[in-house]
Protein backbone atom coordinates (compact mmCIF):
# COMPACT_ATOMS: atom_id res chain seq x y z
CA UNK A 1 0.00 0.00 0.00
CA UNK A 2 1.46 3.32 -1.08
CA UNK A 3 1.76 6.37 1.14
CA UNK A 4 0.20 9.62 -0.04
CA UNK A 5 2.06 12.73 1.04
CA UNK A 6 -1.02 14.65 2.15
CA UNK A 7 -0.59 14.60 5.91
CA UNK A 8 -0.05 17.94 7.58
CA UNK A 9 2.52 16.60 10.00
CA UNK A 10 4.49 13.50 10.77
CA UNK A 11 4.25 11.33 13.84
CA UNK A 12 7.41 11.14 15.89
CA UNK A 13 7.04 9.99 19.47
CA UNK A 14 3.92 7.86 19.94
CA UNK A 15 1.52 10.10 21.91
CA UNK A 16 -0.24 7.11 23.51
CA UNK A 17 2.86 5.73 25.26
CA UNK A 18 4.43 6.97 28.48
CA UNK A 19 7.63 5.48 29.86
CA UNK A 20 9.09 6.28 33.26
CA UNK A 21 12.79 5.79 33.99
CA UNK A 22 14.37 6.57 37.33
CA UNK A 23 17.92 7.35 38.33
CA UNK A 24 19.30 5.74 41.48
CA UNK A 25 18.93 9.06 43.31
CA UNK A 26 15.27 9.30 42.31
CA UNK A 27 14.65 5.73 43.46
CA UNK A 28 16.13 6.51 46.86
CA UNK A 29 13.98 9.66 47.15
CA UNK A 30 10.84 7.73 46.23
CA UNK A 31 11.65 5.06 48.81
CA UNK A 32 12.18 7.62 51.57
CA UNK A 33 9.00 9.50 50.64
CA UNK A 34 7.06 6.22 50.46
CA UNK A 35 7.76 5.39 54.12
CA UNK A 36 7.39 8.92 55.44
CA UNK A 37 5.29 11.46 53.53
CA UNK A 38 3.23 9.15 51.28
CA UNK A 39 1.10 7.51 54.02
CA UNK A 40 0.26 10.90 55.55
CA UNK A 41 -0.69 12.43 52.21
CA UNK A 42 -2.76 9.42 51.22
CA UNK A 43 -4.67 9.56 54.49
CA UNK A 44 -5.35 13.28 54.09
CA UNK A 45 -6.43 12.93 50.44
CA UNK A 46 -8.77 10.05 51.29
CA UNK A 47 -10.25 11.97 54.23
CA UNK A 48 -10.89 15.04 52.08
CA UNK A 49 -12.53 12.91 49.37
CA UNK A 50 -14.91 11.38 51.89
CA UNK A 51 -15.53 14.83 53.39
CA UNK A 52 -16.52 16.20 49.98
CA UNK A 53 -18.82 13.29 49.14
CA UNK A 54 -21.80 14.16 51.41
CA UNK A 55 -21.78 17.77 50.23
CA UNK A 56 -21.88 16.68 46.58
CA UNK A 57 -24.47 13.95 47.26
CA UNK A 58 -26.92 16.24 49.09
CA UNK A 59 -26.55 19.08 46.55
CA UNK A 60 -27.16 16.64 43.65
CA UNK A 61 -30.39 15.23 45.10
CA UNK A 62 -33.61 16.23 43.34
CA UNK A 63 -31.87 18.08 40.49
CA UNK A 64 -33.01 17.74 36.91
CA UNK A 65 -30.52 16.68 34.26
CA UNK A 66 -32.19 18.94 31.70
CA UNK A 67 -33.29 22.05 33.60
CA UNK A 68 -30.97 24.52 35.31
CA UNK A 69 -32.77 25.63 38.45
CA UNK A 70 -31.97 28.94 40.20
CA UNK A 71 -29.07 28.44 42.61
CA UNK A 72 -30.46 28.47 46.18
CA UNK A 73 -28.41 29.88 49.06
CA UNK A 74 -27.57 26.49 50.53
CA UNK A 75 -26.36 25.13 47.18
CA UNK A 76 -24.15 28.20 46.81
CA UNK A 77 -22.79 27.41 50.28
CA UNK A 78 -22.13 23.80 49.24
CA UNK A 79 -20.35 25.05 46.13
CA UNK A 80 -18.00 27.23 48.22
CA UNK A 81 -17.34 24.34 50.62
CA UNK A 82 -16.55 21.93 47.79
CA UNK A 83 -14.17 24.36 46.13
CA UNK A 84 -12.30 24.78 49.45
CA UNK A 85 -12.19 21.04 50.12
CA UNK A 86 -10.96 20.20 46.62
CA UNK A 87 -8.28 22.88 46.73
CA UNK A 88 -7.09 21.44 50.05
CA UNK A 89 -7.08 17.98 48.46
CA UNK A 90 -4.87 19.09 45.58
CA UNK A 91 -2.59 20.85 48.07
CA UNK A 92 -2.12 17.54 49.89
CA UNK A 93 -1.31 15.83 46.58
CA UNK A 94 1.59 18.27 46.17
CA UNK A 95 0.06 21.00 44.00
CA UNK A 96 0.91 23.63 46.60
CA UNK A 97 0.49 26.57 44.26
CA UNK A 98 -0.95 26.63 40.78
CA UNK A 99 0.18 29.31 38.36
CA UNK A 100 -2.74 30.85 36.46
CA UNK A 101 -2.18 33.08 33.43
CA UNK A 102 -4.84 35.10 31.69
CA UNK A 103 -8.43 35.47 32.80
CA UNK A 104 -11.35 33.08 32.44
CA UNK A 105 -14.24 34.58 30.50
CA UNK A 106 -17.73 34.67 31.98
CA UNK A 107 -20.25 31.94 31.01
CA UNK A 108 -22.43 34.57 29.33
CA UNK A 109 -19.49 35.52 27.07
CA UNK A 110 -18.08 32.06 26.35
CA UNK A 111 -20.07 28.88 27.09
CA UNK A 112 -17.27 26.47 26.13
CA UNK A 113 -13.64 26.25 27.28
CA UNK A 114 -11.41 24.01 25.16
CA UNK A 115 -8.65 22.40 27.23
CA UNK A 116 -5.43 20.80 25.98
CA UNK A 117 -3.34 18.80 26.16
CA UNK A 118 -5.33 16.14 28.00
CA UNK A 119 -2.81 13.90 29.71
CA UNK A 120 -3.92 13.00 33.23
CA UNK A 121 -6.72 12.71 35.73
CA UNK A 122 -5.01 15.65 37.43
CA UNK A 123 -6.47 17.72 34.57
CA UNK A 124 -9.54 17.78 36.85
CA UNK A 125 -7.82 20.52 38.89
CA UNK A 126 -9.08 23.48 36.81
CA UNK A 127 -12.52 21.83 36.70
CA UNK A 128 -12.77 21.72 40.50
CA UNK A 129 -11.34 25.22 40.83
CA UNK A 130 -14.23 26.63 38.77
CA UNK A 131 -16.87 23.89 39.18
CA UNK A 132 -17.41 23.83 35.43
CA UNK A 133 -19.23 21.04 33.64
CA UNK A 134 -17.28 18.53 31.56
CA UNK A 135 -17.91 15.94 28.87
CA UNK A 136 -17.03 12.52 30.26
CA UNK A 137 -17.71 8.86 29.60
CA UNK A 138 -20.87 7.45 31.16
CA UNK A 139 -18.95 4.87 33.19
CA UNK A 140 -17.28 7.58 35.29
CA UNK A 141 -20.41 8.26 37.33
CA UNK A 142 -20.18 4.71 38.73
CA UNK A 143 -16.76 5.35 40.30
CA UNK A 144 -17.17 5.21 44.10
CA UNK A 145 -17.09 8.66 45.76
CA UNK A 146 -15.47 10.36 42.75
CA UNK A 147 -18.49 9.56 40.59
CA UNK A 148 -20.73 11.56 42.96
CA UNK A 149 -18.40 14.55 42.66
CA UNK A 150 -18.52 14.25 38.88
CA UNK A 151 -22.33 14.16 38.94
CA UNK A 152 -22.39 17.32 41.07
CA UNK A 153 -20.81 19.44 38.32
CA UNK A 154 -23.60 18.39 35.92
CA UNK A 155 -21.46 16.76 33.21
CA UNK A 156 -22.50 15.80 29.71
CA UNK A 157 -22.19 12.02 29.59
CA UNK A 158 -21.18 10.11 26.47
CA UNK A 159 -21.23 6.38 25.79
CA UNK A 160 -18.34 6.03 23.33
CA UNK A 161 -19.40 2.75 21.72
CA UNK A 162 -22.94 3.98 20.99
CA UNK A 163 -23.27 6.15 17.89
CA UNK A 164 -26.68 7.43 19.00
CA UNK A 165 -25.17 8.53 22.32
CA UNK A 166 -22.51 10.54 20.51
CA UNK A 167 -25.17 12.39 18.54
CA UNK A 168 -27.17 13.11 21.71
CA UNK A 169 -24.00 14.38 23.40
CA UNK A 170 -23.42 16.91 20.62
CA UNK A 171 -27.05 18.01 20.82
CA UNK A 172 -26.77 18.50 24.60
CA UNK A 173 -23.58 20.56 24.19
CA UNK A 174 -25.39 22.76 21.64
CA UNK A 175 -28.40 23.15 23.94
CA UNK A 176 -26.30 24.24 26.91
CA UNK A 177 -24.01 26.44 24.83
CA UNK A 178 -27.00 28.36 23.47
CA UNK A 179 -28.55 28.94 26.92
CA UNK A 180 -27.04 32.42 27.21
CA UNK A 181 -24.95 31.60 30.29
CA UNK A 182 -27.78 29.89 32.17
CA UNK A 183 -25.78 26.66 32.42
CA UNK A 184 -22.23 26.44 33.83
CA UNK A 185 -19.41 26.64 31.32
CA UNK A 186 -18.42 23.35 29.76
CA UNK A 187 -14.73 22.44 29.89
CA UNK A 188 -14.08 20.15 26.93
CA UNK A 189 -10.89 18.25 26.13
CA UNK A 190 -11.31 18.06 22.33
CA UNK A 191 -8.55 15.47 21.94
CA UNK A 192 -10.99 13.01 23.50
CA UNK A 193 -8.33 10.95 25.25
CA UNK A 194 -5.12 11.22 27.26
CA UNK A 195 -1.74 11.58 25.56
CA UNK A 196 1.82 12.11 26.79
CA UNK A 197 1.88 15.83 25.84
CA UNK A 198 4.42 15.25 23.05
CA UNK A 199 2.04 17.05 20.68
CA UNK A 200 -1.63 17.80 20.05
CA UNK A 201 -3.59 15.02 18.36
CA UNK A 202 -6.65 15.68 16.19
CA UNK A 203 -9.56 17.44 17.86
CA UNK A 204 -13.09 16.09 17.90
CA UNK A 205 -15.64 18.53 16.52
CA UNK A 206 -18.16 18.42 19.39
CA UNK A 207 -17.01 21.63 21.09
CA UNK A 208 -17.08 23.52 17.80
CA UNK A 209 -20.39 22.41 16.29
CA UNK A 210 -22.41 25.15 18.09
CA UNK A 211 -20.32 27.69 16.16
CA UNK A 212 -20.02 29.96 19.21
CA UNK A 213 -16.90 31.67 20.57
CA UNK A 214 -14.65 29.42 22.66
CA UNK A 215 -11.84 30.17 25.06
CA UNK A 216 -8.77 27.96 24.59
CA UNK A 217 -7.09 26.89 27.84
CA UNK A 218 -3.65 25.25 27.86
CA UNK A 219 -2.27 23.10 30.68
CA UNK A 220 1.37 22.60 31.58
CA UNK A 221 3.08 20.32 34.10
CA UNK A 222 6.69 21.56 34.14
CA UNK A 223 7.87 18.84 36.53
CA UNK A 224 11.29 17.26 36.06
CA UNK A 225 10.02 13.72 36.73
CA UNK A 226 6.75 13.14 34.90
CA UNK A 227 4.58 11.13 37.28
CA UNK A 228 1.50 12.94 35.99
CA UNK A 229 0.95 11.47 32.54
CA UNK A 230 -1.61 8.66 32.40
CA UNK A 231 -2.15 7.25 28.94
CA UNK A 232 -2.91 4.00 27.13
CA UNK A 233 0.47 2.32 27.52
CA UNK A 234 2.51 3.04 30.61
CA UNK A 235 2.14 3.22 34.41
CA UNK A 236 -1.36 2.64 35.76
CA UNK A 237 -3.53 5.08 37.69
CA UNK A 238 -2.61 3.86 41.17
CA UNK A 239 1.12 3.73 40.46
CA UNK A 240 1.04 7.30 39.17
CA UNK A 241 -0.90 8.43 42.25
CA UNK A 242 1.71 6.81 44.50
CA UNK A 243 4.62 8.35 42.59
CA UNK A 244 2.97 11.78 42.48
CA UNK A 245 2.30 11.72 46.22
CA UNK A 246 5.99 10.90 46.66
CA UNK A 247 7.07 14.16 44.98
CA UNK A 248 7.81 17.11 47.26
CA UNK A 249 6.04 19.52 44.91
CA UNK A 250 4.07 19.13 41.68
CA UNK A 251 4.02 22.35 39.62
CA UNK A 252 1.14 23.16 37.31
CA UNK A 253 0.30 26.05 35.00
CA UNK A 254 -3.11 26.99 33.61
CA UNK A 255 -3.21 29.60 30.86
CA UNK A 256 -6.45 31.14 29.59
CA UNK A 257 -5.86 32.30 26.02
CA UNK A 258 -7.88 35.11 24.38
CA UNK A 259 -11.43 34.27 23.29
CA UNK A 260 -11.53 32.74 19.81
CA UNK A 261 -14.48 33.96 17.73
CA UNK A 262 -15.13 31.79 14.66
CA UNK A 263 -15.48 33.24 11.20
CA UNK A 264 -18.54 32.54 9.06
CA UNK A 265 -16.61 29.80 7.27
CA UNK A 266 -15.60 28.20 10.59
CA UNK A 267 -19.16 28.33 11.91
CA UNK A 268 -20.28 26.41 8.83
CA UNK A 269 -17.35 23.99 9.04
CA UNK A 270 -16.74 22.69 12.62
CA UNK A 271 -13.76 20.63 11.46
CA UNK A 272 -12.02 23.78 10.17
CA UNK A 273 -12.95 25.59 13.41
CA UNK A 274 -11.44 22.75 15.47
CA UNK A 275 -8.30 22.63 13.31
CA UNK A 276 -7.62 26.36 13.63
CA UNK A 277 -8.12 26.37 17.42
CA UNK A 278 -5.80 23.35 17.64
CA UNK A 279 -3.10 25.20 15.70
CA UNK A 280 -3.46 28.21 17.98
CA UNK A 281 -3.14 26.10 21.13
CA UNK A 282 -0.19 24.14 19.74
CA UNK A 283 1.60 27.42 19.06
CA UNK A 284 0.97 28.61 22.63
CA UNK A 285 2.27 25.29 23.98
CA UNK A 286 5.17 25.16 21.49
CA UNK A 287 4.14 21.62 20.58
CA UNK A 288 3.86 19.93 17.17
CA UNK A 289 0.59 18.84 15.58
CA UNK A 290 0.16 15.05 15.45
CA UNK A 291 -2.32 13.75 12.91
CA UNK A 292 -3.63 10.93 15.08
CA UNK A 293 -6.99 10.65 16.81
CA UNK A 294 -8.57 8.67 19.62
CA UNK A 295 -9.75 6.13 17.04
CA UNK A 296 -6.15 5.57 15.87
CA UNK A 297 -4.75 4.52 19.24
CA UNK A 298 -5.18 0.75 18.78
CA UNK A 299 -3.39 0.84 15.44
CA UNK A 300 -0.42 2.70 16.89
CA UNK A 301 -0.33 0.37 19.94
CA UNK A 302 -0.78 -2.97 18.14
CA UNK A 303 1.06 -5.93 19.62
CA UNK A 304 1.52 -9.65 19.04
CA UNK A 305 3.51 -11.84 16.60
CA UNK A 306 2.11 -9.93 13.62
CA UNK A 307 2.00 -6.45 15.16
CA UNK A 308 2.11 -3.51 12.77
CA UNK A 309 5.71 -2.56 12.06
CA UNK A 310 5.13 0.80 10.32
CA UNK A 311 1.69 2.26 10.98
CA UNK A 312 1.96 5.40 8.80
CA UNK A 313 0.15 4.08 5.70
CA UNK A 314 -2.46 2.19 7.74
CA UNK A 315 -3.19 5.25 9.87
CA UNK A 316 -3.69 7.30 6.74
CA UNK A 317 -5.93 4.59 5.29
CA UNK A 318 -7.96 4.51 8.53
CA UNK A 319 -8.54 8.25 8.42
CA UNK A 320 -9.72 8.01 4.82
CA UNK A 321 -12.01 5.10 5.69
CA UNK A 322 -13.56 7.15 8.50
CA UNK A 323 -14.13 10.04 6.09
CA UNK A 324 -15.93 7.61 3.77
CA UNK A 325 -18.31 6.74 6.60
CA UNK A 326 -16.88 3.23 6.98
CA UNK A 327 -15.90 3.70 10.61
CA UNK A 328 -14.13 0.70 12.10
CA UNK A 329 -16.91 -0.14 14.57
CA UNK A 330 -19.40 -0.47 11.70
CA UNK A 331 -17.42 -2.95 9.58
CA UNK A 332 -18.11 -6.20 11.47
CA UNK A 333 -21.19 -7.06 9.44
CA UNK A 334 -19.54 -5.98 6.19
CA UNK A 335 -16.22 -7.82 6.35
CA UNK A 336 -17.46 -11.35 5.74
CA UNK A 337 -19.66 -10.23 2.86
CA UNK A 338 -16.77 -8.28 1.35
CA UNK A 339 -14.47 -11.28 1.76
CA UNK A 340 -16.81 -13.51 -0.22
CA UNK A 341 -17.36 -10.94 -2.98
CA UNK A 342 -13.63 -10.25 -3.23
CA UNK A 343 -12.93 -13.98 -3.44
CA UNK A 344 -15.46 -14.35 -6.25
CA UNK A 345 -13.43 -11.89 -8.32
CA UNK A 346 -10.56 -14.44 -8.25
CA UNK A 347 -7.86 -11.80 -8.29
CA UNK A 348 -9.37 -9.77 -11.12
CA UNK A 349 -8.17 -6.19 -10.70
CA UNK A 350 -10.82 -3.46 -10.66
CA UNK A 351 -11.00 0.23 -11.55
CA UNK A 352 -12.31 3.16 -9.49
CA UNK A 353 -15.90 2.80 -10.78
CA UNK A 354 -15.93 -0.88 -9.82
CA UNK A 355 -14.52 -0.06 -6.38
CA UNK A 356 -17.34 2.43 -5.80
CA UNK A 357 -19.84 -0.27 -6.79
CA UNK A 358 -18.15 -2.81 -4.51
CA UNK A 359 -18.40 -0.42 -1.53
CA UNK A 360 -21.76 1.02 -2.58
CA UNK A 361 -20.29 4.53 -2.43
CA UNK A 362 -20.25 7.37 -4.90
CA UNK A 363 -16.95 8.45 -6.42
CA UNK A 364 -15.46 11.24 -4.33
CA UNK A 365 -12.03 12.75 -3.81
CA UNK A 366 -11.63 10.61 -0.65
CA UNK A 367 -12.53 7.39 -2.45
CA UNK A 368 -10.07 8.32 -5.20
CA UNK A 369 -7.36 8.72 -2.54
CA UNK A 370 -8.20 5.29 -1.11
CA UNK A 371 -8.07 3.76 -4.59
CA UNK A 372 -4.68 5.35 -5.27
CA UNK A 373 -3.22 3.79 -2.13
CA UNK A 374 -3.62 0.33 -3.71
CA UNK A 375 -2.79 1.28 -7.31
CA UNK A 376 0.70 -0.17 -7.17
CA UNK A 377 1.22 -0.34 -10.94
CA UNK A 378 -0.21 3.10 -11.69
CA UNK A 379 -2.63 1.72 -14.28
CA UNK A 380 -5.82 2.61 -12.38
CA UNK A 381 -6.53 -1.01 -11.39
CA UNK A 382 -6.32 -2.50 -7.89
CA UNK A 383 -6.72 -5.86 -6.17
CA UNK A 384 -9.80 -5.32 -3.99
CA UNK A 385 -8.67 -8.17 -1.70
CA UNK A 386 -5.85 -5.99 -0.42
CA UNK A 387 -8.37 -3.27 0.48
CA UNK A 388 -10.38 -5.78 2.54
CA UNK A 389 -7.21 -6.92 4.33
CA UNK A 390 -6.31 -3.31 5.17
CA UNK A 391 -9.86 -2.68 6.40
CA UNK A 392 -9.72 -5.72 8.68
CA UNK A 393 -6.29 -4.68 9.97
CA UNK A 394 -7.40 -1.22 11.07
CA UNK A 395 -10.69 -2.62 12.38
CA UNK A 396 -9.03 -5.09 14.75
CA UNK A 397 -5.27 -4.45 14.92
CA UNK A 398 -4.88 -6.64 18.02
CA UNK A 399 -6.41 -9.66 16.22
CA UNK A 400 -3.94 -10.06 13.41
CA UNK A 401 -4.40 -13.83 13.16
CA UNK A 402 -8.09 -13.30 12.40
CA UNK A 403 -7.14 -10.95 9.59
CA UNK A 404 -4.61 -13.48 8.33
CA UNK A 405 -7.31 -16.19 8.27
CA UNK A 406 -9.61 -13.83 6.38
CA UNK A 407 -6.84 -13.11 3.86
CA UNK A 408 -6.24 -16.81 3.25
CA UNK A 409 -9.97 -17.26 2.49
CA UNK A 410 -9.63 -14.76 -0.36
CA UNK A 411 -6.29 -15.93 -1.75
CA UNK A 412 -6.17 -19.69 -1.12
CA UNK A 413 -6.63 -22.28 -3.83
CA UNK A 414 -10.03 -24.01 -3.76
CA UNK A 415 -8.35 -27.36 -4.41
CA UNK A 416 -5.80 -27.60 -1.57
CA UNK A 417 -6.05 -24.35 0.46
CA UNK A 418 -2.55 -23.19 -0.47
CA UNK A 419 -1.52 -19.55 -0.85
CA UNK A 420 1.38 -18.75 -3.16
CA UNK A 421 4.53 -17.10 -1.81
CA UNK A 422 4.01 -13.90 -3.79
CA UNK A 423 0.41 -13.60 -2.54
CA UNK A 424 1.47 -14.14 1.07
CA UNK A 425 4.08 -11.41 0.64
CA UNK A 426 1.38 -9.00 -0.57
CA UNK A 427 -0.86 -9.94 2.39
CA UNK A 428 1.85 -9.41 5.00
CA UNK A 429 3.03 -6.16 3.42
CA UNK A 430 -0.46 -4.73 4.03
CA UNK A 431 -0.82 -6.15 7.55
CA UNK A 432 2.63 -5.05 8.71
CA UNK A 433 2.72 -1.77 6.80
CA UNK A 434 6.03 -2.65 5.12
CA UNK A 435 7.47 -2.74 1.62
CA UNK A 436 9.63 -5.13 -0.43
CA UNK A 437 8.88 -8.13 1.78
CA UNK A 438 11.11 -11.17 1.17
CA UNK A 439 9.80 -14.54 2.43
CA UNK A 440 12.83 -16.65 1.51
CA UNK A 441 13.82 -16.86 5.18
CA UNK A 442 10.39 -18.18 6.14
CA UNK A 443 10.25 -20.84 3.45
CA UNK A 444 13.83 -21.90 4.16
CA UNK A 445 12.89 -22.43 7.81
CA UNK A 446 9.86 -24.50 6.81
CA UNK A 447 12.12 -26.88 4.88
CA UNK A 448 9.16 -28.51 3.19
CA UNK A 449 8.97 -30.08 -0.26
CA UNK A 450 6.72 -27.25 -1.45
CA UNK A 451 8.68 -24.04 -0.94
CA UNK A 452 6.51 -21.67 -2.97
CA UNK A 453 3.15 -22.10 -1.20
CA UNK A 454 1.70 -22.56 2.28
CA UNK A 455 -1.61 -23.21 4.04
CA UNK A 456 -3.07 -21.14 6.85
CA UNK A 457 -2.71 -24.05 9.28
CA UNK A 458 0.99 -24.44 8.47
CA UNK A 459 1.69 -20.73 8.83
CA UNK A 460 -0.39 -20.44 12.02
CA UNK A 461 1.51 -23.34 13.60
CA UNK A 462 4.86 -21.86 12.56
CA UNK A 463 4.01 -18.45 14.04
CA UNK A 464 2.91 -20.09 17.31
CA UNK A 465 6.26 -21.86 17.51
CA UNK A 466 8.22 -18.68 16.73
CA UNK A 467 7.06 -15.68 18.85
CA UNK A 468 9.61 -13.41 17.11
CA UNK A 469 8.40 -14.46 13.69
CA UNK A 470 8.67 -11.03 12.04
CA UNK A 471 12.10 -10.24 13.46
CA UNK A 472 13.65 -13.65 12.79
CA UNK A 473 12.06 -14.95 9.60
CA UNK A 474 11.02 -11.99 7.46
CA UNK A 475 13.05 -9.46 5.55
CA UNK A 476 11.81 -6.10 4.31
CA UNK A 477 12.83 -2.49 3.81
CA UNK A 478 13.88 -0.84 7.12
CA UNK A 479 13.69 -4.14 9.01
CA UNK A 480 14.80 -3.77 12.70
CA UNK A 481 17.51 -6.34 12.06
CA UNK A 482 19.10 -4.05 9.46
CA UNK A 483 19.16 -1.06 11.78
CA UNK A 484 21.09 -3.10 14.36
CA UNK A 485 23.98 -3.54 11.97
CA UNK A 486 26.74 -1.10 11.12
CA UNK A 487 29.42 -1.15 8.47
CA UNK A 488 33.05 -1.30 9.41
CA UNK A 489 35.72 0.67 7.58
CA UNK A 490 36.35 -2.23 5.18
CA UNK A 491 32.69 -2.34 4.18
CA UNK A 492 31.78 -5.54 6.04
CA UNK A 493 28.61 -5.66 8.14
CA UNK A 494 28.94 -6.26 11.89
CA UNK A 495 26.36 -6.46 14.61
CA UNK A 496 26.52 -3.80 17.32
CA UNK A 497 26.86 -6.63 19.81
CA UNK A 498 30.12 -7.81 18.28
The confidence band for 482, taking pLDDT boundaries of 50, 70 and 90, is low
pLDDT at 445: 82
Q: Are 443 and 449 in contact (CB under 8 A)?
A: no
* The pLDDT of residue 495 is above 50: no
pLDDT digits over 221-273, tens only? 998 899 999 999 999 999 999 999 999 999 999 999 999 999 999 999 999 99
- pLDDT (tens digit per residue) in 114-168: 999 999 999 999 999 988 999 888 878 888 888 888 888 888 888 766 667 778 8
Give residue-wise pLDDT tens across range 68-123: 777 778 888 988 999 999 999 999 999 999 999 999 999 889 999 999 999 999 99
Give the fold, CATH level 3, of 24-292. Glycerol-3-phosphate (1)-acyltransferase (3.40.1130)
CA 192 – CA 90 distance, rounded (Å): 24
Q: So what's the pLDDT on residue 170?
A: 85
User: What confidence score (pLDDT) does residue 12 get?
Assistant: 60
* 287 contacts 280 by C-beta, under 8 angstroms: no
- Count CB neighbours of 31 within 10 A: 11
pTM of the model: 0.83
Question: Given a cut of 70, is residue 457 above it in pLDDT?
Answer: yes
Residue 4 scores a pLDDT above 60: no
Q: Which residue has the higher pLDDT, 353 or 311?
A: 353
Per-residue model confidence (pLDDT) at position 473: 84
Residue 410 CA neighbour count, 13 Å, CB half: 29
Q: Is the pLDDT of residue 496 over 50?
A: no
Of residues 478, 343, 306, the one with CA closest to residue 423: 343
Q: Tell me, what's the pLDDT at 72?
A: 79
**Cβ 156 vs Cβ 172: under 8 Å:** yes
Write down the domain spans for the chain: 24-292, 298-487
Residue 450's pLDDT is what?
Answer: 57
Q: Give strand pairing partners of 100.
A: 254
Residue 400, number of CB atoms within 10 A of its CB: 22
* pLDDT of the residue at 284: 97
Rounded CA separation 101/91 (Å): 19
Q: In the prediction, which pLDDT does 312 show?
A: 87
Q: What is the pLDDT of residue 497?
A: 41
> So what's the pLDDT on residue 7?
45
> What distances in angstroms separate CA 205 from CA 66, 211, 231, 260, 269, one per listed residue?
22, 10, 22, 15, 9
Which pLDDT score, from 0 to 100, does residue 264 have? 95
Do 446 and 439 meet the contact criterion of CB atoms below 8 Å apart? no
Amino acid sequence: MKAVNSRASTVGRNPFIHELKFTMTEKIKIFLMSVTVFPVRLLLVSSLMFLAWPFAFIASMGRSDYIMEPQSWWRRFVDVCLRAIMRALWFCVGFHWIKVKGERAKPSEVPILTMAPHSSYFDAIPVTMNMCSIVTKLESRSIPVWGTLISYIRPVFVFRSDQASRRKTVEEIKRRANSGGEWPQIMIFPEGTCTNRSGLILYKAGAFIPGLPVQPVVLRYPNKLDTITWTWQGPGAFKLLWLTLCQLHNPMEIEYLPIYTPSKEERENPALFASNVRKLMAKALELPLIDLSFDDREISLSHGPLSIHDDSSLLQFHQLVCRLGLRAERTDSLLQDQVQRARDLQGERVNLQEVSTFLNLSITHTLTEVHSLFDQRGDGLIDIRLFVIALSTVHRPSQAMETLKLAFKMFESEVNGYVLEEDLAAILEIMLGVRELDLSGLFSALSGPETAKITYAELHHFIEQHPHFVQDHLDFENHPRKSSQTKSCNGLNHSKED
